[in-house]
A and B are shown apart, each in its own frame.
Chain A
Amino acid sequence: MADLSINIAGIKSPNPFWLASAPPTNSGGQIQRAFDLGWGGAVWKTLGERIINVNSRFWANDYGPTRMMGLNNIELITARPWETNIREIVETKKKYPKNAVVVSMMIESKREAWHEAVKEVNQTGCDGIELNFGCPHGMSERGMGAAVGQVPEYTKMITEWVKEVATVPVLVKLTPNVTNPALVGRAARAAGADGISLINTINSIMGINLDTFAPNPNVDGKGSHGGYCGPAVKPIALNMVSACACDPEIGIPISGIGGVATWQDAVEFMLVGSTSVQVCTAVMHYGYRIVEDMIDGLNNWMDEKGYARCTDFIGKALPNIKDWGDLNLNYRIIAKIDPELCIGCELCHVAAWDGSHQCIDLASSNGSRVPIVNEPECVGCNLCMLVCPVDGCITMVKKDTGKKPMSWRQYQAELGKNPKCEPPGYIEH
């Protein structure tokens, strides 16, 4: 049994799985139930001035028969009284001293207001504070949430206000609705933040009803852009997390968020530098008990790989994330179709023919439906393998080009020395 416990910026947790600040962390009762089922930590649904919500708040993006590939919401921060939340945080922390309780906060952009609120949260016994500088809807129109997180200067200013009085570690939650979240991460670091968490939700309109022309979710015939999350956003989140993790000017721990639904997702976020991972949509879809497999799967994977503790593998993929210009242009792979596994759908053919490089032909002559790879034309793009409905039927086989690795950067450098040097790779037709 591996040791799953983590310590992120001084916040300790029995495992890296946290509930993100969202409806699943709306109350003490919910969070305590989640802790009973195994969640390591929870970021309390954002505290702030009491708000009024609309009805009709969520909408999902289905893909084929799969429900909720993506979820969007226009719900605001907590709708419960400040005092109730504070009381329940105290109670929860008392009952669950080993679990991480982090309080998300969003306060009017005034120094005194922040000071007053943070001082009160300091007293709850919570393990940390997360500054919600990410919500892209509603609160941003009032100068909070993403309105702060989209401007590095504002982020820095408010983080400094919080750090002036906070007695627990402070995480700054970043919005993905910026060109480069690392710039905002640097501002948080400069202001003394102890860690960052990302990504918050992505600005989105989920769809338009073809009969009423109203957007979804539909509030009395009208709608507004909302925050998009769920499995669909995972690749965007992984990119942003890794970008922040690679940035030497940030250099503080990261809590990764964005479409985490399984232990594999969590491991990926950890491999690109997350110490804890936060989950919301998957819980909104299936309930708290998904954490059972997350813990079990992570543990089994760590045992299998021989990792005793999470720090053994956190960030291990980062050295492999490079600029395009550093990739080896002499790396050559070619598609190979296993005729035993091929079921003859010919999707690889039409995908290559219409959608890529016309390098998979039909076996028209002998009546076989196993397509043929035209090897010299294959650019190793992977598309055929990706569309093939049978696992393992199409594999990309490495081919020795006899050339030593050379990246675009290396080639440019080489050209400087020898203008007639041979270009790497090969010329496509």
Chain B
Amino acid sequence: MIKNLAPKLSNAEYEKNFADINPPFLPHNAKMEANRCLFCFDAPCTRACPTHIDIPAFIKKIASGNLRGSAKDILDANILGLSCARVCPVDSLCEGACVYNEREAEPIEIGRLQRFSVDWFHENWEQNKHLYKPGKSNGKKVACIGSGPASLAAAFNLAKLGYAVTIYDKNEKPGGLNTYGIARYKMTAEEALTEVKLVEHMGVKFKQKCEIGKTIPVAKLTKDNDAIFVGIGLGQTEDLNIPGENIPGVVDALTFIDELKAKPLRQVKVGRRVAVIGAGNTSVDAATQAKRLGAEMVMVLYRRGESEMPAYEYEYEIAKKDGCVYYFLTAPKRVIGKKHVTGIECVRMKLGKPDASGRPSPEPVRGSEFVLECDMVIKSLGQRKRREFIEKKLGLKADKRGRIVVNETTLQTSNPKFYAGGDCVLGGKEVVNAVAHGKRAAWAIHKKLTGEDVNLEGLWKDEKLRRVASKAAYQYA
């Protein structure tokens, strides 16, 4: 398939290249860092977290040595605290909001502290599992389609409220992109499955390799359940729509990342020279891992400029540090090769007027074509929307961009029995956004089916403020 394969590395090199990018705290250092937290009132970090974890509270408990309480504070608000601690873009969320930034000091390492507590919780599972129990059965049933972060969060919270929840998922293993689609140096598949265990512990049933609309008709699902949560995420990587796309050696980023997590690293094939098309966060995961697997040259092609690039700053930094070379204002025109990829023809672009997304639209510069020699092309143009499945199979309304249309507060879809959350609604965001959606959907489903406005930890942004400040205001007014 690939003509020039990158030479294999030694086991030590694989181990080093794919080692945890942000290693856990040693206990003493965690305590030191926890003690640095100012314990802000109505803390900006908590507000910035989509799941509104009470961050100063869980950090204070690390400082005091109450790890069980700390982990519970996190998991109550965010059942995927383990993966969020590893993959959250903390610079843009909690750590970016830390008041220490205002003092030109390093923000508290909230992500690593969260990992410290939640890892401890899972590492001591037998002593800790009693903290979570399914609620007393209320005789109602909910189905979740997809087993990614949104569904896991919805299922967990519904099970806690007494629902019988079944998750239907087409993959072999549960966990969605957490299991299949995140760079190995950030999180392993085993770590993702650790969190699934907690949801299983709540009595949630997992039906893997089960495709709704094929294995089970949608009508049956609708009939058998009181509510349905759709957490199907997004589809395959978008096509390049250029000639040569089917030449062996052209792969899509998600398949490549999945292979890296599923197979021993030695068995994953990578070319000597690799071109990655697209410059989002998934592109970084693919490009850096290709480099870490031993590719000699990794070129990232992006048709817009550096400042338009969708990847987070810190992701871009990883790619740069790994030695990936960025070709900005460069669009692929055709993949060259017969039995295998030998190169990619590109064209220079210039930025024109803003397009529908508000970003300047790139236009080709005539006569600027050039060829980059490569042995492998990784497509990373973002994931396809699942419009057909949403509209045809589920019969739900989708917007122009193929996302499920929901009520912003309740996440209820055009079919009142169906709720939706995560990437299929957001069009590609973070794990933590999906968890927040799952929790919100659980609240809304429960409210609709029982009338109870249940208080789930960190459901609303101003909850803490309302609870702490308004009570005080009332007392002292």
Residues of A within 8 A of B (CB): 64-65, 342-347, 349-350, 353-354, 358, 362, 369, 389-390
- The 23 listed contacts between A and B (C-beta, < 8 Å) are A64-B63, A65-B31, A65-B32, A65-B35, A342-B102, A343-B99, A343-B102, A344-B40, A344-B102, A345-B38, A345-B40, A345-B99, A346-B40, A346-B41, A346-B42, A347-B39, A347-B41, A353-B476, A354-B472, A362-B42, A362-B469, A369-B44, A389-B103
Which of B31, B44, B99, B476 has the most chain A CB atoms closer than 10 A to its own CB? B99
Chain B, residue nearest A348 (CB): B41
Bound-complex Cα distance A299 to B101 (A): 37
* Besides A347-B39, A347-B41, 19 other A-B contacts (C-beta < 8 A): A65-B35, A343-B99, A343-B100, A343-B102, A343-B103, A344-B40, A344-B102, A345-B40, A345-B99, A346-B40, A346-B41, A347-B38, A347-B40, A350-B41, A353-B472, A354-B472, A369-B44, A389-B103, A390-B103
Does B141 count as interface, using CB distance less than 8 angstroms? Answer: no
Tell me the minimal C-beta distance from A364 to chain B in angstroms. Answer: 8
Bound-complex Cα distance A369 to B45 (A): 13
Residues of B within 8 A of A (CB): 31-32, 35-36, 38-42, 44, 63, 99-100, 102-103, 469, 472, 476
Secondary structure at the A interface, as helix, strand, loop or mixed, is loop
By the criterion CB–CB under 8 Å, are B41 and A345 in contact? yes
Bound-complex Cα distance A362 to B32 (A): 30
Bound-complex Cα distance A358 to B474 (A): 13
By the criterion CB–CB under 8 Å, are B469 and A344 in contact? no
Question: Can you list the 4 inter-chain pairs with the closest CB atoms, starting with the nearest?
Answer: A343-B102, A346-B41, A64-B35, A350-B41
Which B residues are CB-close (under 8 A) to A369?
44
Which B residues are CB-close (under 8 A) to A353?
472, 476
Chain A, residue nearest B31 (CB): A65
Chain A, residue nearest B104 (CB): A343
Bound-complex Cα distance A343 to B44 (A): 11
Which of B41, B42, B99, B472 has the most chain A CB atoms closer than 10 A to its own CB? B41
Q: Which of B32, B35, B36, B44 contacts A344 (CB 8 A)?
A: B44
By the criterion CB–CB under 8 Å, are B99 and A344 in contact? yes
Tell me the minimal C-beta distance from B453 to chain A in angstroms. Answer: 24
Chain A, residue nearest B36 (CB): A65
> In the complex where A64-B63, A65-B32 touch, is A349 in contact with B41 (Cβ < 8 A)?
yes
Bound-complex Cα distance A43 to B99 (A): 48
Which of B31, B32, B102, B472 has the most chain A CB atoms closer than 10 A to its own CB? B102
Chain A, residue nearest B35 (CB): A64
Bound-complex Cα distance A323 to B68 (A): 49
Which A residues are CB-close (under 8 A) to B469?
362
Bound-complex Cα distance A175 to B192 (A): 61
Bound-complex Cα distance A6 to B465 (A): 59
> In the complex where A65-B31, A344-B102 touch, is A358 in contact with B42 (Cβ < 8 A)?
no
Which A residues are CB-close (under 8 A) to B36?
65
Tell me the minimal C-beta distance from A48 to chain B in angstroms. Answer: 40
Tell me the minimal C-beta distance from A358 to chain B in angstroms. Answer: 5
Tell me the minimal C-beta distance from B475 to chain A in angstroms. Answer: 10
Which B residues are CB-close (under 8 A) to A349?
41
Tell me the minimal C-beta distance from A12 to chain B in angstroms. Answer: 45
> In the complex where A64-B63, A65-B32, A353-B472 touch, is A389 in contact with B38 (Cβ < 8 A)?
yes
Chain B, residue nearest A390 (CB): B103
Which A residues are CB-close (under 8 A) to B472?
353-354
Bound-complex Cα distance A342 to B44 (A): 14
